[in-house]
Chain A
Amino acid sequence: KAGVTQTPRYLIKTRGQQVTLSCSPISGHRSVSWYQQTPGQGLQFLFEYFSETQRNKGNFPGRFSGRQFSNSRSEMNVSTLELGDSALYLCASSLRTSGIYNEQFFGPGTRLTVL
C-alpha cells in the first residue's frame, strides 16, 4: 500500500507570495491533518479535514487555509507569506477521524523556505 505523498518536497518563495501544498493520503483514509514543524516548536497542529469538512483548527492566522477533495486529497494554502512561515509542513492521514483514538501516518513533508 502506498504511503502518504506530499508535493512538492521543497519550495522557495519570497515574502508576500502565496503557496499551495498538496497531500495525498493512504488509499481508504478519509482524515487528513496538517502540521507545521519548526526547530524548537515541535509539531504545531494546523487543521484536520474529514470527508471534505474541516473538523478542527489550530491557532494559526487566517492566512493559513486548507481544503479536502472528494477523493480525500488535501491542499493547504498560505497567503501573504512571511519569513516566519519557513518550516517543514507535514500532513498525516488516518483511517477515521484522527485526534483521539487513531494512528496517524505521516508524509515526508514539504520544506518551505521564505526569503
Chain B
Amino acid sequence: QQPVQSPQAVILREGEDAVINCSSSKALYSVHWYRQKHGEAPVFLMILLKGGEQKGHDKISASFNEKKQQSSLYLTASQLSYSGTYFCGTASNTGKLIFGQGTTLQVKP
C-alpha cells in the first residue's frame, strides 16, 4: 500500500523551513527519503529504522514514529538547491520498498 505524503507541493523563500510528512497504514520496518531534481535520478537522503530515531544531514533531518507509522522530513533554512521532488519510501515485512507520490518543493530567492 502506497504511503501518503503531505503536502503535495510547497513553495518557500530561501531561508524558510519546511516539513514533509509521510504516513502509512502498514507497520513499518524502515522509512527512506529520496530527492529527485527535474530531469535527474532520485538521490538517497537517509534511512530511518524503527525505534523512533531521528537523523540529520546538514540542515535536513527526519524523524520516524513507528507506532504512528509516520515519518517527517524537516528542511531548515531552505536553500535554492533544496528544490525538487521528495519521495518517502516505506518498507514493511514484505521486503518491498514502496514510494509515496512525492512532494514538490520549490525554493525561491
- Chain A residues in contact with chain B, CB under 8 A? 4, 33, 35, 40-45, 48, 55-56, 58, 90, 92, 97-109
Q: Nearest-CB distance from A114 to chain B (Å)?
A: 21
A99 touches B99 (CB 8 A): no
Given contacts A100-B29, A101-B30, A106-B42, contact A43 B95 (CB under 8 A): no
Measured CB to CB, the residues of B under 8 A from A are: 2, 29-30, 32, 34, 40-44, 47, 49, 87, 89, 91, 94-102
Bound CA–CA A4/B43 (angstroms): 12
Q: Chain B at the A interface: mostly helix, strand, loop or mixed?
A: strand
Taking A42-B2, A42-B101 as contacts, is the C-beta distance between A106 and B41 under 8 angstroms?
yes
Cβ contact of A45, chosen from B40, B97, B102, cutoff 8 A: B97
Whether A104 lies near B97 (C-beta < 8 A) is: yes
Contact B97 A107 (CB under 8 A): no
A-B contact pairs, 11 of them (CB 8 A): A42-B2, A42-B87, A42-B99, A56-B94, A98-B97, A100-B91, A101-B47, A104-B97, A105-B44, A106-B41, A107-B41
